[in-house]
Amino acid sequence: MTARDTDWDGVRLHVVTGKGGTGKTTVAAALALALAHGGRKVLLIEAEGRQGIARLFDRPPLPYEERKIAIGPGSGGGSGGGGDVFALAIDPEGALLDYLQMFYGMRSAGRALTRLGMVDFATTIAPGLSDVLVTGKATEATRRRATPSRTDKYVYDAVVMDAPPTGRIARFLNVSTEVSGLAKVGPIRSHADSVANVIRSPQTAVHFVSTLEEMPVQETLDGIAELNEVKGMQVGGIMINMARPAVLPREELKKEPDIAALASSLARAGLRSADSLAGALAAELDEHARHVELTDRRRAELTAAGQPMYELRLCTGGIDLAALHGLAAQLREQGAA
């Protein structure tokens, strides 16, 4: 495998967001696979415990622990080979215990707090606090080195985070502002600031997954505009998911289908009752033409955001590991990884 430039070469933390139902988790997993080439080690993080990653890779529920979940493309193919994808499901409770252990060496006090409902407390009345713990875990993994030495290599070449949906992403990532409403000073504030420094650096990019439907496109544009307001935040690519390519050139689709000609072609192909079939197929073709026209408009709206765009074809057979690898290959071909 030859080294080549991708669109996001300097990025080490890939945050993937998208409206619910657009396939955000699937695209995050495909991106992690796509990044895990040439022996690279990638961590795929699930930020909202739904165990979607475990389901995608057909594994039992993931614990709060980094585990190898898949092998990247090209393994066994001689030099370079594939890389490894590790996965981690972060929950606020585990992240709180981690935080206390890491900064105060207080795991047992953390357990006491958990029993008292600290996590409920944080997630219920101050979700900013639990967001800071979750994003904090992701930035820690991004910056982790094999040894504490600043010159040693990073443990993970890239981290991909399956983040909360578009509607909440700015709030989720804008941890510093969110926490500053609550804490003007103090340890949690300085932790939030250091997390924000990683998120608002060229090392981090926020990718948006969208389908070519009205609501997802609108939310994507709104989300991009919102993140562009935050100083230093890097908006990444727009991944158009579940795209259905046009079956004919656009100018051909614009024409009224000639039902008689269609019927004679169908008859030539050996199909019976070609006349009634031609009518039905023409109706399907017409619906497809309208769909293509509509999605072209939506695509143009997304293009106006000025971000690199990648298009992933709809997997009619459903999503399994083979389909994920197919999506990863599409991302690679288009330069996303």
Partner 1 sequence: MTPENPRLDVDRIIDDRRARIIVCCGSGGVGKTTTAAAIGLRAAERGRQVCVLTVDPARRLAQSMGLTSLDNTPRRVDGVSVEAGGSMHAMMLDMKRTFDEVVEAHADPARAAQILANPFYQALSSSFAGTQEYMAMEKLGQLRTSGEWDLIVVDTPPSRSALDFLDAPERLGRFLDGRLIKLLLTPAKATRPFTKVLNAGFSVVTGTLTKILGAQVLRDAQTFVTAFDTMFGGFRERAEATYRLLQAPGTSFLVVAAPEPDALREASYFVERLDEERMPLAGLVLNRVHRPTATRLSAARSLAAAETLEPMPNGSSAAESSQPPSQLPEPAPADVVAAAALRLHAARMNLGEREQRVAVTFTSAYPAVPILEVPALPEDVHDLAGLRRVGELLADEP
Q: 5-34: which residues touch partner 1 (CB under 8 A)?
A: 19-22
* Residue 152 is a binding residue for partner 1 (CB under 8 A): no
Instruction: Select from 1-9, 61-69, 114-122, 144-152 the region that touches partner 1 (CB under 8 A).
Output: 114-122
Nearer to partner 1, 52 or 223 (CB): 52
Q: Can you tell me which of 10, 61, 63, 109 binds partner 1, judged by CB under 8 A?
A: 109
Instruction: Give, in degrees to the nearest 5, the angle at Cα 312 between 309 and 317.
Output: 170
DSSP conformation letters of 125-162: H-HHHHHHHHHHHHHHHHH-BSSS-TTSPBS-SEEEEE
147 binds partner 1 (CB under 8 A): no
Pairwise CA distance, residues 74 & 82, whole Å: 5
Find the shortest distance in angstroms from Cβ 44 to partner 1: 18
Helix 107-116, helix 118-125: angle, nearest 10: 60
In the complex with partner 1, which residue's Cβ is closer, 78 or 317?
317
Stretch (H or E) spanning 313:
strand 309-313
Rule CB under 8 A: which of 115-144 touch partner 1? Answer: 116-118, 120-121, 123-129
Contact set for partner 1, span 281-310 (CB under 8 A): 281-285, 287-288, 290-291, 294
- The verdict on 87 binding partner 1 (CB under 8 A) reads no
270-300 burial: b if 16+ Cβ within 10 Å, else e: eeeebeeebeebbeebeeebeebeebeebbe
| Distance separating alpha carbons of residues 256 and 15, to the nearest angstrom | 44
Site for partner 1 in 198-237 (CB under 8 A): 213-216, 218
**Residue 252 touches partner 1, criterion: CB under 8 A:** yes
